[in-house]
Amino acid sequence: MRASALPQAFSRRHQADQPAAFDRAVQIGPCHYPALVRVGRSAGDSLTEAVCGLGGERFLVVAASGAPARQVAETVAALAPVGKVLVLCGEQAALRLPAPTADTVVVAVGGRRTVLSVLGWARRSRVVSVPTTLAAMCDASVLDAGGPSGPGSRRGPSGPDGPRAPALLWCRPDLLEGPQHAGLYPLLRDVLAICPYHYESVARRLRADGRYEPAVLASFVALCLEAQAGVLTFDPFGRGPGSVLRYGQGTAQGLLLAARLAERLGLLDAAGAAAHLRLLAAAGLPTELGRKAAAARELVLLRALGNPGWPADRC
């Protein structure tokens, strides 16, 4: 039987079993840590090997209440060969407990809010970040909690000299299930506002049905980690060049509104506005503004793709 004749579900399972690594080294201000972006059956071995280097013999897994059971189980299975593992389900309950001691490695399993909360809580411990959504994986290097998605107005889990960063980031895009429309915002934002030279490559791989091979999702995560490090390395709180991560204010609708406003103000040309529409359409996202679009005064605008201008309230 030819590969093209295989049932689609079988083909996707086969692709998910193929090992692939898209690891990156993340530098955010004074913080430097490895990001393991892995897919395939051997992906768990990478976490086992990496946590051995952290020197801990006890692991406290803080799992968000809605964290997928499979992702929690894969994390625990990777930690078990190294030391004792305790799992706390529901970060709110865990965060009411006394902070763990320095000899405990804390593992945050959940979305971006869970990871940031645990980083702020476990200040004496090394923290391993295990994001469980595509959006959290793609925004994993944004450590300041300011704004709906990205740095800016509010302090995140930070110390006096910079952000509080994890000791290790472990991303498993092959464990994501179902269409991934909701998780694409960081990718679209970064391509439009930071690295438009990736535009055509990303546009060709976007799917309107939101279903991707694991290796494609892993490449998207790696691209975002690189793009964000490029603006946050010397601006960890996002008050300068890093403020571009507020572009679109956390939603695809925000990207569309920002493009239309910038075009109307004469900052962005018609080609730049059309590029937004093309990318949103390729990703299967709405290309018309809804009733709940963000307030214009909150938006960072572009003068061209990859060339951020200023917040709209300064126009």
Q: How confident is the model at residue 7 (pLDDT cuts 50, 70, 90)?
A: very low
Tell me the CATH architecture of domain 11-190+203-232: 3-Layer(aba) Sandwich (3.40)
What's the whole-number average pLDDT of the chain? 85
Q: 212 Cβ partners below 8 Å, 6+ apart?
A: 180, 205, 220
Burial 75-87 (b: 16+ CB within 10 A, else e): bbebbeebeebeb
- The 10s digit of each residue's pLDDT in 78-110 is 999 999 999 999 888 888 899 999 999 999 999
Q: Which residue has the tokens 């126009």?
A: 315
- The 10s digit of each residue's pLDDT in 232-287 is 988 888 888 888 999 998 889 899 999 999 999 999 999 999 999 999 999 999 99
Contact predicate 72/61, CB 8 Å:
yes
Q: What sign does the dihedral 149-154-158-161 (CA atoms) show?
A: positive
CA-wise closest residue to 230 among 272, 257, 196, 279: 196
User: Quick check: 14 pLDDT over 80?
Assistant: no
- The 10s digit of each residue's pLDDT in 187-243 is 999 999 999 999 999 999 999 999 999 999 999 999 999 999 999 988 888 888 888
Q: Where are the domains of the chain?
A: 11-190+203-232, 250-314
CA-wise closest residue to 12 among 181, 214, 208: 214
Q: How confident is the model at residue 2 (pLDDT cuts 50, 70, 90)?
A: very low
126 vs 292: CA distance, rounded Å: 40
pTM (whole model) above 0.85: yes
